[in-house]
Amino acid sequence: MKLQGITALITGAASGLGAATAKALTAEGAEVLGLDLASSIEKATQVEGVTLVAADVTSEEEVSAAIEGYEGAPLRVVVNCAGIAPAELTVSPRGAHSLDLFRKTIDINLVGTFNVLRLGALAMSKTEPLEHGQRGVVVNTASVAAYEGQIGQAAYAASKAGVVGLTITAARDLARLGIRVNTIAPGIVDTPMLAGLPERVTDALAESVPFPHRLAQPAEYAQLAKMIIEHDYLNGETIRMDGAIRMAPK
């Protein structure tokens, strides 16, 4: 899939992984329709070629309106980066894990991913097929927590494991339409989610990575997303981007 002259829909595009991916794809000639919460867009740096629209990924109406209201090149790419990462023990001295928090995490990370995937794929299905019948590609974001969730990550790990499980099924569902589906499972990435941690904590996290001994950068996620989009034979795969880390219980 060539990026020149197409539109990429990116969620969580105002910061972190989404912003880095938007920058990388526009550098290759793509137009980017970026979805994020209004509060995040207000703090975002404007990037040429990126149109930021306020939309909740869990809302069918808001995502549909953003896609249908965009007047630009054909939609060929979806990159799902929006997500949250709460931490709470299943049972703690305060009581049982909040069911509302568990539902919210699943709703944003898994249901939101599927919502954007299905609506983006619907729009792609209406485009003219390219070489070998290809119409588009979806890149989802899971996490190594899908495989080795740490203490306190019950909600997050379950949501990301759902994204991993969705990958091959969605790829098979959409194959007849010429739409590929792949997922990136990052390890520890230096994003705004880590910004509030003390330096000693982030240093310890970096040291726990076998090699290289550092946190991953959002630009490296963007580099991998770009490669997946351009590599037409990658389909139905979840690719770990983690420096060979295997997370300990805590």
C-alpha distance across the termini of the chain, in Å: 40
Only one residue has tokens 């939309």, namely 55
Can you give the C-alpha Rg of the chain in angstroms? 18
The active-site residue, picked from 70, 156, 221, 233, is: 156
Does residue 156 carry a catalytic annotation? yes
Interacting residues of 227 by C-beta distance below 8 A, sequence separation 6+: none
Domains, the chain, ordered by start: 7-191+219-239 (3.40.50.720)
Q: According to the model, what pLDDT value does residue 247 have?
A: 87
Q: What is the pLDDT of residue 226?
A: 98
Q: Is the pTM of this model over 0.85?
A: yes
List all residues 6 or more positions away from 151 whose beta carbon is below 8 Å from its beta carbon.
Answer: 89, 249, 250
Complete DSSP assignment for 32-71: EEEEE-HHHHTTPPP-TTEEEEE--TT-HHHHHHHHHH--
Compute CA distances 108 → 84, 137, 149, 223, whole Å.
7, 21, 18, 24
Report mean pLDDT in 10-residue bins for the chain, 250 residues.
Answer: 97 97 98 97 93 98 98 97 95 97 98 98 97 97 96 96 98 98 96 75 86 94 98 98 91
pLDDT score at 34: 98
Q: Can you say whether residue 218 is alpha, beta or left, with left for phi > 0 and alpha for psi between -120 and 50 degrees?
A: alpha
For residues 118 and 124, give the distance between their C-alpha atoms in angstroms, rounded to a whole number: 10
What's residue 197's pLDDT?
66
List the structure tokens of 167: 């990958």
